[in-house]
Homo-oligomer: A and B are copies of this chain.
Amino acid sequence: MKGNFSSDNSSGACAPIMEAIVKANAGAVPSYGSDEWNAKLHAKACDLFEKEVAVFPVTTGTAANALALSQLAPPYGTVYCYEAAHIVTDECGAPEFFTGGAKLTGFPSEDGKILPEQVKKALAFADEMGVHHVKPGAVSITQATEWGTLYSNREVSDLAALARSRQLRLHMDGARFANALATLNCSPAEATWKSGVDVLSLGATKNGALCAEAVIFFDVSLAQDFDRRRKRAGHLWSKFRFLSAQLLAYLEDDLWLRNARHANRAARRLAEGLKPLSEVKLLHPVDANELFVLLPQPLLGALERDFKFYTWPLYASETGVAVRLVTSYATRDEEVDAFVGAVKQWGRR
């Protein structure tokens, strides 16, 4: 194996987070979130986001997204989003489950980003249909997107303004939020609530945690009863300190950004290495830590011998195969260079 680009969750936990877990294992500690790490996490998050926020650690991104949406959309409502968003295709119906049956209304998109016009049209349709149609409930966007692209803060705030004008809330699936932030090069506050985001699913697992995500509400009043929702979904840990300790370590000393910058750099290195090569074609701008690349079938076979990655469903063109290449905090330059080298070599064959 010369390189693993299969997923950022193939890597384990990064050293500082594993150390934090081990360190938190001393002595008896109150359970269910009454631990000191959780208190510090809250303080840290408020500090980072420059605002009183409510932070709810959970284990998986699916749980974070589905719990967040269940707080925003009524069972008879709908969530507007990208038609191939993670919440639509990769969570086995978790949003529908947690909301009690709300619908996801998905819009097509080339680059994974939805537009205010799409939401506006759907709202007009809902208005015309009245009681026969599901009620507009929330807007959800993914940052970085499912295609490794980014919304600009302006694009986010345009969607937020529209949502707000209709009393809809804006959710951001930030499974790779740190990767987005590293590229946007703005403050966490600017990338979220200052651009109109109401709730953030903050990912950490893909970016170096063992198993930790957090739902962050920027309007604390919006979090009412959210603790009960988390509990009844089986997502309230008893030995909670091990969850909050991970997230605390993640946010301290810029660890999240350092990890994300590493992963993004590796992705850019890979993109720059591949761009000049006629054998492959980048399908999207590389703004975070994911590349989507079109390959000829024989090259795929050659690469699969030495590298791990996934071919990607649905979007394969007729003359090739689409593959996804993901870098992480643990990706080494040698892996990147070996991949580029292998493509080159195949071209010369």
Binding site for B on A (CB under 8 A): 4, 6-7, 9-13, 18, 21-22, 24-32, 58-64, 66-67, 74-78, 89-94, 96-104, 124-125, 128-129, 131-135, 205-206, 210-211, 225, 227-229, 231-239, 241-243, 308, 313-314, 330
A18 touches B12 (CB 8 A): no
Max count, chain B CB within 10 A of own CB: residue among A29, A96, A132: A96
Whose C-beta in chain B lies nearest to the C-beta of A11?
B28
Listed from nearest, the 5 A-B pairs whose CB atoms lie closest are A63-B234, A100-B100, A9-B238, A92-B232, A96-B101
A60 touches B228 (CB 8 A): no
Whose C-beta in chain B lies nearest to the C-beta of A128?
B313
The smallest C-beta distance from A5 to any residue of chain B, in angstroms, reads: 10
The smallest C-beta distance from A160 to any residue of chain B, in angstroms, reads: 23
Interchain Cβ contacts under 8 Å between A and B, 16 examples: A12-B239, A21-B210, A28-B308, A59-B234, A66-B234, A76-B92, A76-B229, A89-B125, A94-B234, A100-B100, A100-B101, A103-B104, A131-B231, A134-B232, A210-B242, A234-B235
B22 touches A4 (CB 8 A): no
